Every structure is written in C-alpha cells, then in structure tokens.
Structure 1
C-alpha cells in the first residue's frame, strides 16, 4: 500500500480506550470468528437467497480470502466493493478483514466518475462489483476505467450473469480451497475500512476507520440500543456500503453476533414484508424511507406481528410528525441518530418512545463518551464554549476515524491538532447535557444578503398536514443571488400551493423572506445511492423548471 493513513488522534487516547475495555482490541475477523465458534449455526444473514448461518458464512469468507491472496492481495491493500445489500457484500467485508486489507465499500448506483475518483485517490488494487444490478453494469464500467488507474490490478465481477471479459468471476474465487488459509492478525488500531461521504466537497470524502473504531466505538453505539445481551436482528434499509451501513458487518455481526436482514433494493413494500416475516429487533433507515413505509402501512391491514426494539433513523433530519407516526405504527421507540461518516455520533436512546423536541426540531440526545465525546467550540478559535452558547459541534472519542484519505487539506480543515473532528454543524448543550443541533455553518441560502437555513424551513413545512416529505434547496437567481425552493411529496390527493406553504410558515412564526419562492411537487423524492434525499438532483430539477413555478417576490 502506498496511500498513507496517519492516525490524527493521540496514541495515548487510543490505548486508554483499550485499557478500560471501551474497545475490544481485536481485529474484525477475529471478533467474527469468536462469534462463529460460540454459536456455530446462528443465522448470520437473511437476504434474497435465504438464510446463511455463521459457519457457512465463515467458510465462504475463507474461500474468498484465500482466492484474493492468490491474486496477490494482502495486508494494507485497499480493495473497493460496490455491491448491493447481499451476502456477497458481507463475505467480501470479512474476507478483506481476514487478509488485513482495507475495505472501501460504496453503494451501487454511484456513477463511473465518482467511482474513478475513489479508486484513484485510494490507490485501490482491486474492486469487487456487480455484473448487473437493476440495469447497471458496474463491473464492466469499472473494468473500462482500469487503463487510467495504474494501481488497479483486478476487477472482480459478482453475478448473476456472466462476468465481463477481462474481469475475474467472484464465483470462481469462492470455490478456492480454504484448507490452508491462515488469517492475518492486523493491529486493531490500524485501518480496516474507508467510509465514503459525499458531503459538500467536489469529490467524495473518504475517511479511514480502524478495527477498534468500528467494533469498539460504533459497536458501543448499537450496544446502547440493546436492552439485554440478546444478539440483535438488524434490518438495514440503507446500503451496507454507506457510512450508516458500516454498522452492519463490523458491528451487528463481528461485535454483537447478530443477524443481518438485507434488501438488495429498498422499496416500502419489500421493507414491510421483511419486517413482518423476519421480525427484526432494529430497523435502520432514513426518515424518508420510514415515511414511505408508513403510507404503505395505512393501506395494509393488521398490526405488525412483533414490535421491534427500535427504529433507528439517521442520515437526514427527523421531524416530530414522522417520529410520532412511526412510534405509533411500529409500537416501539424511535431513535433519532445524529451522526456522520466524519466521526460524530449522538442519539436519543430507548428511554424516549418519541424523541424530544425543541424550537429547532428533534434534539440529538445526550452524547455517550464510549462512542464519541462532543463539545461546543468557537468556530474560529476552537476553544470550548459554555453550556447554552451556540457554536460548532466537535467530536472526539473511540469511534473517531484515523484521517481523511489522500486529502491533507481536509485533515487541516476538519481536524484540530488535538484530534477533534470539526463537524461544520452548529449546536448547543442545555442544562441537562442534551445536545441540540440548530443548523450548519455553511448550509445556508443567501437571498438578497439575508441568510436562510433550509433545515429550519424544512422542519416547519414537515408539520403541514398535506406534506409527506420535503427538502428545501437554494437555486441561483440573477436579482436576489439565490431563492429558496421547496421540493415536496404531497400527502393525500391535493398538493399544497406556495400560498398554502407561506401561510403555514407565517403561522409558525417564520419571517416572510424565509418562505419558499419555488415549488416542485414530485411523486417521490429522488434518493442518492446511500439512501438520502438527493439535493443536487433536486436543485438541477428546480433550475430546469423554475420558469414555470417561480413566484415573484
């Protein structure tokens, strides 16, 4: 491996979390292997092909690891994985951990330009990709990029369908004899996985995480949502290749010995079938997905056969109306997760059926130092601010990543000299130590010199009785610089008008200059490959259609 991954946290802090038991100090494959030995026939994965137990999964992992080793892939090599939520993605994750290699998963649906950027900057030596998935031919596309990527030696194609010429069939590697395989034992504080986050940068951000940060820090997050020692059964509505999905193989399986329930493509109908048939203890998704499922539940008869332990919702702001409706429909607590790939995590926990709210919307909860310590800092000086003062949210703890990959400029911008992660979010602590997130340092629409927080407007519009889902974006304007657009999915047959929305916002106390001046009504919001609302696509759509929907101020 030539890409350099430097831990920006003081070494004494990393070791202190091992000494006090916060982190397990074992690599991910060793943790998984211990779980397999403890319960040989527990179900590890439920996917479109059916059930796969821990022992069968481990054999496939060893076969693939030995096959990859035969290709010259070993410790420290970066291997990208672009697969749908399926057992093959789990097998690849664990096989790379067993080799001491570094996994770089990213969701299916990300285009060739983003994939090329990830592979080039990470110096990935191989990529495992789907031959075909929902009309996309990622393996062939990535093979076509190989001449421009000198570090890339192998493209491995996962079926169904024939592997494109020049690629290696994953099925062939899975038939390798695993008898002689001896797993590596990488340093638990070394890199295990690279998380990908689009964020606001021109190219996707890549963030390197260690075995301990995943199994320890992120593992402690899920542990706090497990009321007893029963292994969890987690339904992942988000891609395993997303940052949120990193709670799958490393946390649900390796750390907690649980079961992954996987959908290779999210639809509300398939998700509801999975909830009814597999009775997950935890459902992990973004609020938009839950709103779509709630609509489906209204149309179907009968209650759920068993209530989950929790709905864990992150990746986008959660509004109070959705939280209340979800808690009632699913019969369990709704957990609001405030987190990011960059290294922050805070959630509202199981002691609230419906997360608490304030004037800014749903609160973030009380930080868990076994996951991530959080402070409020002055954005300019980085000095801590007292409770009640609004400042930038910064985070540091057992789940803190090593560094950004091949991006010293991002390290300089988002990491302090003491290792704190700068989130770019604004917030404050109340007198009870609860974190309130109030906005973004830069996520503003500037209309005629006045700043508008899209998140603030979205929170208020979400309470409109005829709005099911809403995203607000800024679009360029020759007169005002920018104007605010509301992109929404209506609830019921009649869509609200701009006047309706403006009247609602006025009753909620929002100044007139914050009211949307464009309206785009859609049957569904477009989602990114990671399952979040696609703000860039919405912005383009509004720009294309704004002449038809522009309201002059």
Structure 2
C-alpha cells in the first residue's frame, strides 16, 4: 500500500525536472528547529564563516600537501565561477566522481557555493553507475576523472557541462584547473535555503542496485554533524579527522559537509587506502580521530609497530559501514590504546554509536541525531527486549529517495519514519541491539539463517581477522551457509571443525553452523572499502564447485589463483 505523506512545502524542482519532496511532517522539522537541532544556514555559509574567521588554520591535508581555510575558500570560489560560466546554477544537480583529494573537496564545496545539489559517488563501480545515477538524478553537470566515465557522460542529453581533472580532456569537456575569466565568483547570500537539498547520498549497493537519498543542508549540518560532534567530544581545539573511506561514499559524507563546512575541523585524506600509508599519516599529520570500515582498521592493527611509532595524538578510532567484529575491536584497542567507536548507520538516515568495549549494543540513540523505535511486523511498537524492525526519525532524517517514489513508499512511513530493513531490539535502558538484516538471510531447507548472527560470533574468535558468511546454492536444501574467513596474522589456518567448535562454545545453535569454510588470504573490497559480498559469493561458487562435499574447508590464494580442498566430517 502506498503511504500518504504530509510534506513541508512544495517539492524542490531542478532545472531538468527532478523533484525532491520532504517526506518528514512539517511539525517535526519545526520542532527540531525550535530546539536548535537544525541550523538555519546552508553549508557554504557555514564553511565561509570558518574560512573568514581562521584563514590560516589547516583545512585539508592530502597527497599534495596542506591547504589552509583561506586558500581553500579561494579555490572554491574559482571552481564555482567555472560552474557558473558553464551555465550551471542553483537549480542543478552536479555529479562528482573523483578520488579523495583537493579536487573532490573543492568541487563539492563549489557546488554548495553555487546553491546547487552535489551528487558525489565513489570510483570503482564502472560506467554503469555513471549512466544510471546521472540519468536518474537528471544531473545538469558533472566532474569526472575517468575517461570511460567521460565517454558515458557524452551520451547523456541532459548534461549541459562536463568537467575533468585530466590534463588533456576530450572534445567538449572543460578543465577544472582553469582560471575564471572576469574575476572571482560572488555567491548569493545565502546561496541556498537551509531546508533545500544539498547532497545526494549513494548507497553502497551491497545488496541491490545503489539508491540515492536526498539530504538537506540542515540534515547534514544539524543531525549528521551532531553525531560527529558528539564522538569528537567538543575539544578545545578543532579536531583533526583522518578519513580513510571515499569522501564520495555515504560514510565519507562526514568529510566535506560535516568536518569542513559544519565543524571547521582539519580533514586528512589519502587518494587510496593503504594500511602502512594510513599509519604514516597518523605519525605525520597527528589526527585526533581515524574513520574507517572494520577491514581497514584491522589491517592497520595487524601491522607491526615501527621503531619510534607515536600514535598518542589519537583519541578514538571510528568504525562504520559494516559490523565490527569483537576480535577487530580488541586488536585495535591493544594496538592503538584508544577507544573504538562503532557507528551503526546507513545512507537512509539511521544512526546510533557507542564506544562500549563489549560491542554488545549499538549504543543509546541520540534524539539530536535520530530517534529510534522498534516495530513489530503489524506496525505496532515492540516491547523492551522484543525483536522487530529498526526505524529512525530525527534531525538527520533525509528528505526522500531520489527519483524513486516506490522506495519512499516501501522504506518511509506516513509519519516520516525510515524503515531500516534491520532487525533489532531496545533494552529496558533504551540501548539498541542490532540483530541483523531482515532481508540478508539464507534459506536452508525452509530454515531462515542470519549471516550477521554467525558473523558476530565468528568475530569473537581471536584466530580470525575477518569473517563474512554468504549463501551457496544446493540442490537438496536450496542454500547452505559458507563462512569466508581471513586468519589473524600468526594464527594457524582455521578448519571448519575448529570454527564450529568455537561457535558451539558461544552457544550458537547447531543448525546455524556454516557447512563450508572458505579460508582466504585477502577479502575482496568494494569501492567504499567494505567487503564486497557479491564478489565473495562468486569466489565461493568458483572455489567450491559442484563436486565439493558438504563439510569441506577450502583454502584459496586469490593472488596465485590456487585452490586446495580439505575434507571434513559434516556436522
């Protein structure tokens, strides 16, 4: 059934006809504003305040060096002038696909200076993402760094201007490093309303095709900034954030619109993730917080200490994008001596974080970010401790899904609550426990298994650095569960028998045990740095094959493309 929404005002409409309504009731937005949870300012105005107040403070540290706020502000106005010269304006969506670095930062802030809407999306998804996302968003402009993306963009009739960072652009494509004829660009004051759309967040597409979610300036500078401000602890000096994930990802949105525009922090980035380079960045640039997905943090923790290594600048490591295994949290705390903050969240507007060492809960929801409730299948509120769907609504809640009213109908209630699709429970003290995905399940002979539940228990095994469970097709039962693991450094390669023995000690029911074990030297990563489940499932299919018996441990060295099998007793 399609929900009926009470929207705040007429939908924002782009020059190319994209409509972005606000799916949260007007009364809720006004209540958050009255409480001071949503600032009455756009992102560029907030950024300009920091640049004018502290022009010499470090804004960005990338592979090319350091850029103070004053110089970054000047660069932003130059690129905004290029956009305006090309005919782009406040009612345009401008797509950005660039590696981490100053070009990506400058281009996104220039979009906000123009009063337009930014659509950053990570590298690595192929030209299909460019065609799909730019078409569905009805983008009027784009900044692209890949020749194949530029060729795909040339086929899109709605694009009026395409820029690139390549030194020799193809015909019809403009260079981003040109000077602006006629002097500096003068933004409107303000360039956009606080309630107008600012950025379209793109989901990672780990389960389905990527979704786009529209966030207002208020939601980014209010609710989304509130969680970052809370974990930074309101330091006396502006914090310094080392962001390891792509700035163009949903998780990476804490970089430009939050760290730079809303908070006036220093942002440290590298073009691509390398664990040794990340450790070197900590030593050289002294970040207070490191943001990464569990795989990144584990790879850093697994590296031996360098002579004279000093990580005393750190206050916390922040993990999001995937569930944090207990063994990874322990390894990080022992390696760096600081808390590991786990953030449960999504591009859809769900957020909760905690620094509890046990990792048993996702923390207590912060109403300044997003209130959370648990709902039964019939839509009624669940009792404390009772499992149900996690739903969220608050100052961080986005406007709507982009160009997809069917997604709004499926994932938003008429009262503006976001349906997360996750299973969870709130205990008597209001702490959230995430129990797994409602949709990410394995059906074995009619029995529904949660990969997340098994992964959580495997994550408590110190012999395992990473664990992901995927389904494999089976003629008899339809699907069986395959655990894919990477051993911890120095640990012996695990066997299925050893893995199931550990699960047994954790109290997991026997019927939920994995029936295959894939032992890998590395995990496949997607564009956002998270483990790519689809690739991993394909690896499992290739490695197991039709003749592999149930109960087997399969050792795979992807670099050598070498596969060995070890037969074990089926449990």
TM-score range, shorter chain: over 0.9
Q: What is the CA-CA distance between 1:236 and the residue it aligns to?
A: 0.3
Aligned to 2:247: 240
Structure 1, unmatched stretches of 5+, are 131-137
CA deviations 1:28-47 (Å, max 9, x no partner) are 00000001111111000000
TM-score normalised by length of structure 1: 0.93
| Separation in 1, partners of 2:30, 2:404 | 26
CA contact (8 A) 1:304 1:330 kept: no
Tell me the secondary structure at the aligned position of residue 425 of structure 1. strand
Aligned to 1:433: 430
| Separation in 1, partners of 2:441, 2:113 | 44
1:377 to 375, 392, 399: 375
CA contact (8 A) 2:130 2:153 kept: no
Aligned to 2:91: 76
Is 1:324 equivalent to 2:330 in the alignment?
Answer: yes
Q: What is the CA-CA distance between 1:264 and the residue it aligns to?
A: 0.5
Equivalenced residue count is 533
Q: What is the CA-CA distance between 1:319 and the residue it aligns to?
A: 1.9
Aligned to 2:107: 92
CA contact (8 A) 1:142 1:155 kept: no
Tell me the secondary structure at the aligned position of residue 171 of structure 1. coil
Aligned to 1:452: 449
| Separation in 1, partners of 2:492, 2:181 | 59
Aligned to 2:70: 55
CA deviations 1:491-511 (Å, max 9, x no partner) are 226311222212222222223
2:271 to 264, 269, 273: 264
CA contact (8 A) 1:414 1:422 kept: yes
TM-score normalised by length of structure 2: 0.90
| Separation in 1, partners of 2:156, 2:168 | 24
Aligned to 1:545: 543
| Separation in 2, partners of 1:165, 1:550 | 57
1:394 to 383, 391, 396: 391
User: RMSD of aligned C-alpha atoms?
Assistant: 1.7
Distance 1:233 1:177, change over 3 A: farther
| Separation in 2, partners of 1:417, 1:12 | 13
CA contact (8 A) 2:121 2:249 kept: yes
CA deviations 1:82-112 (Å, max 9, x no partner) are 1111011110111000111110001111211
The within-5 A match list for 1:279-290 is 279-290=286-297
| Separation in 1, partners of 2:412, 2:69 | 39
CA contact (8 A) 1:307 1:330 kept: no
Is 1:224 equivalent to 2:224 in the alignment?
Answer: no
| Separation in 2, partners of 1:461, 1:156 | 46
CA contact (8 A) 2:76 2:107 kept: yes
Tell me the secondary structure at the aligned position of residue 306 of structure 1. coil
Aligned to 2:566: none
Q: What is the CA-CA distance between 1:149 and the residue it aligns to?
A: 1.9
The within-5 A match list for 1:42-441 is 42-130=57-145, 138=146, 140-159=147-166, 161-172=167-178, 174-176=179-181, 178-183=183-188, 185-199=191-205, 202-227=208-233, 228-296=235-303, 298=304, 300-349=306-355, 352=356, 354=357, 356-357=358-359, 362-381=360-379, 383-441=380-438
CA contact (8 A) 2:81 2:180 kept: no
CA deviations 1:369-409 (Å, max 9, x no partner) are 0010111112332x222222111110000000000001111
Distance 1:39 1:427, change over 3 A: same
Q: What is the CA-CA distance between 1:336 and the residue it aligns to?
A: 0.9
| Separation in 1, partners of 2:444, 2:232 | 46
Is 1:480 equivalent to 2:477 in the alignment?
Answer: yes
Aligned to 2:511: 513
